[in-house]
Chain A
């Protein structure tokens, strides 16, 4: 009986309405949101300590940098970096990896659920009639003008392709490039480090992928604000009955 109840809650049928989101999608979305903010803030804190990027296996202050960020690590709010709670990188690393665990676990639950429950097939895989240049043009124009987005019940082509790209390309690659920096994980999978062109290349790629993800979040939040913040937030928070 308890199992039946859990199955009811977790696998409640997904209707064509984009608003009727299953509980598991809503829960993992918000755990993931918190984790992503943890990752972004701590990632920036870690980069502040050494804001130089290299290509290849190794790189340091004595080797030419590919590029550097125009930030000054030693002083923050007028205080030397190391005096702030024992250093930015130490605290930053703690927050980064703890957030990464929550992001990875909630992300995995979401992806497995999305595959088993047809959530991806119904909501994210483009429908047959969306796959034409004409409808792509319409979707892009709608996005830019923000005119018809309000009325839409399900995701249009631009949204579907973006979400698929973020879920199945950007996040997995960001995770793998993070793994490629770990001395112990690369001892088990040396090919991972080689595939990214070395540990320092992996760090540089990780930075660009993370920046793209941050850009996605900015646009994502912007679209929510522009298409009715309250309604969109309710649809990601409350179940169908509560609405």
Chain B
């Protein structure tokens, strides 16, 4: 009796083990193929980050749109966590009204380019009133105008090998988006907030707006956009400057 039970338990455990290992490796292959694994999937928080990213990517596969609000709902106060960079470089551009500033777009693109602010403002614009939540818990509603990132990406011609779009800034902060969010119609390169030129503290001359993610993904003070296939080769390989400070690369939650 005890012998059969032991054998039974052994077989069960063995089968479960084999099924588990096969299942995990199959799941990993599928997840990699459909882009369901975030760059910061290592470490003890990798399980939660990966489950969240994969689940939300599957849930949002029909390109859901963030809620948009009416002008009367725009917040009267919009706090910031950090103001404009105090570097000499940024202050010089600010004093010169960003007339010499250019946005470089390079990496895996057919026609690398650089655009002046005036050129970007002449591109087809989109205006949206959206909610932005801070990871700390507070939030605001504002109106943003800018060119959809997809327009700029299509203009330079993104390679079929591309997987991520990396944003560089006057700030030490850098970040990246997967192509799903980069090509989403509400993802903007914004130069106007609440009907006025973007103020310095809010990201002048140009910032990202990604309304389906938390505020920290919307990089301010843009200087350069790089399209890459392998995010592991950029910076510390975690897709953003923020994982080093304890924050997830993916901030859809």
Contacts and interface: CB of A to CB of B under 8 A. Distances in A.
A61 interface: yes
B48 A101 contact: yes
Given A60-B138, A182-B253, A98 B48 contact: yes
A125 to B, nearest CB: 32
A193 B245 CA distance: 29
A187 B76 contact: no
Given A2-B11, A58-B139, A187 B45 contact: no
Given A58-B141, A60-B138, A94-B248, A187 B75 contact: no
Contacts of B138: 50, 52, 59-61
Nearest to A105: B51
Contacts of B67: 186-187, 190, 193
A188 B60 contact: yes
A188 B137 CA distance: 21
Contacts of A86: 244-247
Contact of A5 (B12, B49, B60): B12
A5 to B, nearest CB: 5
B48 A63 contact: no
Given A2-B15, A49-B136, A86-B245, A94 B77 contact: no
Contacts of A141: none
B248 A101 contact: no
Interface residues of A, number: 43
Interface string B9-29: 101100100000000000000
Given A57-B69, A58-B75, A184 B245 contact: no
Interface string A168-195: 0000000000000111111110100100
Given A184-B212, A185-B59, A61 B79 contact: yes
B64 interface: yes
13 contacts: A5-B8, A6-B12, A46-B137, A62-B76, A87-B245, A93-B135, A183-B212, A186-B67, A187-B64, A187-B67, A188-B64, A193-B67, A199-B133
Interface of A: 1-2, 5-6, 46-47, 49-50, 52, 57-63, 85-87, 89-91, 93-95, 97-101, 181-188, 190, 193, 199-200, 203
Interface of B: 8-9, 11-12, 15, 45, 47-49, 51-52, 56, 59-60, 64-67, 69, 73, 75-79, 131, 133-141, 211-214, 242, 244-248, 252-253
